[in-house]
Amino acid sequence: MAFGSFQDSTSATSKPLTTMSDINVTPMVDVMLVLLVIFIIAAPMMTHAIRLELPDAQSAAVSATSETIELSIDADGVLFWNQQRVAMPQLAERLSTVAQRQPQPELQLRADKATRYEIIAQVMAAAQAQGLNKIGFVTERKSQ
């Protein structure tokens, strides 16, 4: 006898007809697998890269209320402390002496568009390690 088939009620070995209490989960599993495949295909499409061109901005100029130190970084990663060329080891020494002043001066970073972010991150980490908390980024106004 096949599973789920009706038995002939006239046979001698027949049992009374009863309802089948098992739930067929095959359609539910099929639907879940289809949803999983759709999610696997669609998930990488939801993340996308954003191309940015920095540092053009339109903002009001900030007035210099306290001492400011201008740290410029050109496209090749060369550092300039108030228009004087400085190497990375010398930068840490200068930052430590400046951090001792009261009130603490603001460090203004002027970085070229083509400067690698790694160099900017190293400069910011060195400033923070020496205790400088006031760091600002200098941008140029967009030309009309």
pLDDT tens per residue, range 22-46: 888 899 999 999 999 999 998 877 7
Whole-number Å distance between alpha carbons of 120 and 117: 5
Task: Give the lowest-confidence range in 8-17, 65-74, 118-127, 135-144.
Answer: 8-17
pLDDT at 33: 96
CA distance 121 to 112: 14
Q: Tell me, which fold does domain 68-137 have in CATH? A: Nucleotidyltransferase; domain 5 (3.30.420)
Token pair in block for residue 117: 């972010």
In contact, 109 and 123? CB cutoff 8 Å: yes
pLDDT tens-place string over residues 38-95 = 999 988 777 765 565 666 666 666 555 568 888 989 888 889 998 889 998 899 899 9
Is the pLDDT at 120 greater than 60? The verdict is yes
- Tell me the pTM: 0.53
